[in-house]
Amino acid sequence: MTETKRIAKWDNIRLFLMFCVVLGHIINYVELDTDTMNSVYLFIYAFHMPAFIFLSGLFAKRAVRSFRYDKAFTFLALYFVIKFSLFLTRVALSREAAFKLLSTIGVDWYAFVLFLFYLVTMFLQRFDRRYVLLATLFFGCMAGYDLTLGGRMALARACSFYPFFVLGFALEQETVLKVSRKLWAKLTAAVILIAAGIVAAQCYDELEWLLPILKGFSYRNLEEDLFEYGALYRLGSYAVAFLMIFAVIVLIPSFRGFWSKLGSRTMSIYAFHYCLIMIICSGLVIDKHHMKFILARRMSETQADLWMVGIALLITVVLALRPFDWLVRLFTVPPLAKPRTADAEPAEEAQATVRIPALPEEELEHTQPIPNVTEESE
């Protein structure tokens, strides 16, 4: 056990983003075509994974600068934990469950690309961060034209989302927090999110074709007359994601509550949430029908929407409880990792809490600043 001081704002943001991940996967899994959930789905995918990866870069500085390879391999361990958990869940539900070691089109892709990001950034940190960011933006846009990049090793998504990690790694945590307190930033952030919500609600049918780009896939899913402009669309999606990340960071409150503790345990939610979605939606039988069938066929659209939000909240809260947090750390925190020294954690402007050793993206630094599925369900 180690005592660390945490800034509640980051935990609050992580919890909100994790709820977005769970809700997005439920919407995709149930395949309920309602105007409300379609709009929510588009809104979520415009920013939530870029935001997770941005925060991961924000909190990766200590591990990357110290060449802590054990921290990078924590994510590789997490990748295998998720892979085996999904495999066993499918077997338990009597589904065909082929095990593909290097195919990362499921929820495990995020853990694998973070493993890659840590290793690559350890090498690239010696170069000017401005040029690195420009280069990653360029390759992120151009990678979509390489149709050989697919689910194997998540290379398409790694190229697409790496600019957000680099940006987070380049920014100072104090700078981000300072800007988020400004009145102009709060007003601007409110306008950005309101505008994004209106566009998602009113223009889903016209913008649905953008989802593969927002998810980091190649441009192979675009219409032939749109394929050649894929890089421009991705560049535009980067701009939207950057604005929405800014807005979310600014508007999420900084005060501490029980939700902040839940937000400090998002890795257990990420690791097991899709297993729980499959169990609830396809394993739970009510009146001889699976929950997925009941949501999509037996309920009104409004009832189904409310049930999906409720299930997402339930999964988010339950998997953030300490037993699940302990379980995921048991299998992911390297047993041979370097022990922390008394001065390993710098002071932070937050209430001290006692917790078990944090995963890499949960470490808070004073000097520098979180999951989809065909992705099986994406």
Q: Which of 126-135, 142-151, 228-237 has the lowest mean pLDDT?
A: 142-151
* pLDDT above 80: residue 334: no
Burial (CB count <10 Å: 0-12, 13-18, 19+), residue 360: buried
Paired tokens of 62: 């200590």
Q: What is the mean pLDDT of residues 15-30?
A: 95
d(CA 92, CA 95) in angstroms, rounded, equals 8
H/E stretch holding 353 reads strand 352-355
- Selection from 277, 370, 338, 352 nearest residue 51 by Cα: 370
Give the pLDDT confidence score for residue 94 in this predicted structure.
76
Buried b / exposed e across 110-124, counting CB within 10 Å, b at 16+? bbbbbbbbbbbbbeb
Amino acid at the residue 167: L
- Whether residue 143 has pLDDT greater than 60: yes
The CA–CA distances, whole Å, from 236 to 43, 210, 241, 334, 335 equal 15, 11, 9, 39, 43
C-alpha–C-alpha distance, residues 217 and 150, integer Å: 8
Percentage of the residues of the chain whose pLDDT score is greater than 70? 85
pLDDT digits (tens, 9 = 90+) for 28-70: 999 888 889 999 999 999 999 999 999 999 999 999 999 999 8
Backbone angles phi, psi at 352, to 5 degrees: -70, 140
| Residue predicted with more confidence, 363 or 13 | 13
322, 356 contact by CB (below 8 A): no
DSSP letters along 42-71, please?
A: HHHHTTHHHHHHHHHHHT-HHHHHTT-HHH
240 vs 344 pLDDT, higher one: 240
Residues 6+ apart with CB under 8 A from 36: 301, 302, 305
pLDDT band at 106 (very low <50, low <70, confident <90, very high): confident
Please check the confidence at residue 300 and state whether its pLDDT lies above 60. Answer: yes
CA 258 to each of CA 319, 323, 350: distance values in angstroms, whole numbers, following the listed order: 14, 16, 14
Better-scored residue on pLDDT, 299 or 187: 187
Contact 241, 45 (CB under 8 A): no
| The pair of three-digit structure tokens given for residue 102, joined into one six-digit string | 């290097």
Interatomic CA distance for residues 296 and 304, integer angstroms: 7
Roughly how many angstroms between the first and final C-alpha of the chain, as a whole number? 38
| 364 pLDDT tier (thresholds 50, 70, 90) | very low
Question: What is the chain's mean pLDDT, rounded?
Answer: 84
Instruction: Name residues whose C-beta falls within 8 Å of residue 262's C-beta, 6 or more positions apart in sequence.
Output: 11, 15, 316, 317, 320
Sign of the alpha-carbon dihedral angle for 300, 298, 212, 176: positive
- Taking the C-alpha atoms of residue 162 and residue 79, their distance in angstroms, rounded to an integer, is 18
* Low-confidence winner among 63-67, 121-125, 143-147, 152-156 (lowest mean pLDDT): 152-156
Q: Which residue has the higher pLDDT, 322 or 337?
A: 322
Per-residue pLDDT for 100 more than 90? no
Question: How high is the pLDDT of residue 296?
Answer: 83
Lowest mean pLDDT among 124-138, 241-255, 330-344: 330-344
Please give the Cα distance from 9 to 177 (Å, whole number): 9
Which residues touch 139 (CB under 8 Å, ≥6 apart)? 159, 162
Question: Range with the lowest mean pLDDT among 36-40, 72-76, 143-147?
Answer: 143-147
Higher pLDDT, 346 or 62: 62
Which residue type is seen at 87?
F
